[in-house]
């Protein structure tokens, strides 16, 4: 299919391990977002890419979180030295629109998410 | 206080009932989104609106910018409508215009 895909769908990590979560956006989508959704809560913004440029990382909860999108398509969210509070569903979304100032908005297409459990 | 509030948090309805889910927000927005999330995590965008009303099948979304309020209506509800419905806003005056701020969702269960 042509939707947003994420892998792995489920990840169990022992506390202290590093994990890498992958997002394949819809081909041609310029904008890519990462969100974190704790159990029973709405998603919360982590970071945003426009092509390969990370324009906003204000939502990353600590310096253990790192995201990249080196070629402007696939993105990886890396969490170092995982902690139990990192357990959540990590959602990736992409959209076609570029952001010029504050003038343009577009529908975001979400992937199925990666459920991370840190034990 | 959350910037995006939804009510009710949980809703149970019988098949065929008319359903309303409400969303209030306290920040300046450029657009409001209604999203549907099924068990397992997948989120589907239902509506994006900045004024007035939109309709798609049995779903209707309205927004009142002055009152900072939106409603999602489901007519002739069906068990397959059972899901979590999330309201989210694209805020103005932020560095990333279209990053979303989400409500906590309304869990809807439609029974036979």
Using CB atoms, pick whichever of A42, A48, A58 lies closest to residue B104: A42
pLDDT recorded at residue A101: 46
Is B13 a residue whose pLDDT tops 50? Answer: yes
pLDDT bin (cut points 50, 70, 90) of residue A102 is: very low
Report CA A36 to chain centroid distance, whole Å.
8
Residue B14: pLDDT above 90? Answer: yes
What confidence score (pLDDT) does residue B97 get?
55
Residue with tokens 């939502």: A59
**SS3 category, A15:** coil
Mean pLDDT of chain A: 91
According to the model, what pLDDT value does residue A108 have?
Answer: 86
Tokens of B7: 């009510």
| Beta-carbon contacts below 8 Å between A and B | 80
Residue carrying the six token digits 């947003």: A4
Beta-strand runs (E) in A42-118: 44-50, 53-56, 65-68, 75-79, 88-95, 109-110, 114-118
In tens, the pLDDT along A24-54 reads 999 989 889 999 999 888 999 999 998 999 9
Average pLDDT over chain B, rounded to an integer: 91
Give A15's strand partners.
none
Q: What distance in Å separates the CA atoms of residue B46 and residue B56, rounded to the nearest whole number?
A: 8
| Structure confidence at residue B95 (pLDDT) | 55
**String of DSSP letters for B15-67:** TT--EEEEEEE-S-EEEEEEEEE-TTS-EEEEEEESSEEEEETTEEEEEETTT
Asked if B7 is an interface residue toward chain A (Cβ–Cβ < 8 A), one would say: no
Q: Is B39 on the interface with A (CB under 8 A)?
A: no
- The pLDDT value recorded for residue A105 is 58
pLDDT, one tens digit per residue, over B74-111 is 999 999 999 999 999 987 655 555 788 999 999 999 99
Q: What DSSP character marks residue A57?
A: -
How far away is chain B from the Cα of A50, in angstroms, using its nearest Cα?
A: 10
What pLDDT score does A99 carry?
54
| E strand or H helix at A101 | none
Length of chain B: 112
Does any CB of chain A come closer than 8 Å to the CB of residue B86? yes
Bond into A41 cis (ω within 30): no
Q: Which residue of B has its CA nearest to A100?
A: B97
Q: How much is the pLDDT for A33? A: 94
Residue A68, judged by CB atoms within 10 A of its CB (0-12, 13-18, 19+), counts as middle
Min distance A70 CA to chain B CA atoms (Å): 19
**What value does the mean pLDDT take over residues A8-21?**
97
Q: Which residues of A touch B (CB under 8 A)?
A: 31, 33, 35, 37, 40-45, 48, 55-56, 58-59, 89, 91, 93, 95, 97, 99, 101-113, 115
Both tokens assigned to A95: 């959209």
């Amino acid at each position: 299919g042509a939707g947003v895909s994420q892998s792995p769908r489920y990840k169990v990590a022992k506390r202290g391990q590093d994990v890498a979560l992958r997002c394949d956006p819809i081909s041609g989508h310029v904008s890519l977002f990462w969100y974190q959704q704790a159990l029973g809560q709405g998603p919360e913004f982590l970071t945003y890419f426009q092509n390969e440029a990370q324009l906003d990382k204000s939502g990353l909860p600590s310096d253990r979180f790192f995201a990249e999108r080196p070629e402007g398509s696939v993105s990886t969210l890396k969490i170092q030295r995982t902690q139990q509070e990192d357990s959540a569903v990590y959602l990736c979304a992409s959209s076609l629109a570029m952001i010029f100032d504050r003038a343009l908005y577009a529908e975001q297409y979400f992937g199925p998410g990666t459920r991370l459990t840190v034990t | 206080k959350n910037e995006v509030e939804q009510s009710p948090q949980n809703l149970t309805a019988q098949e065929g009932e008319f359903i309303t889910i409400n969303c209030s927000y306290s920040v300046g927005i450029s657009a409001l989104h209604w999203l549907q999330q099924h068990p397992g995590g997948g989120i589907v965008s239902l509506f994006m609106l900045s004024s007035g009303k939109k309709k798609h099948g049995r779903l209707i979304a309205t927004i009142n910018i002055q009152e900072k309020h939106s409603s999602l209506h489901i007519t002739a509800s069906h068990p397959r409508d059972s899901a979590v419905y999330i309201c989210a806003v694209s805020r103005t005056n932020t560095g990333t215009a279209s990053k979303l701020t989400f409500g906590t969702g309304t869990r809807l269960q439609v029974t036979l």
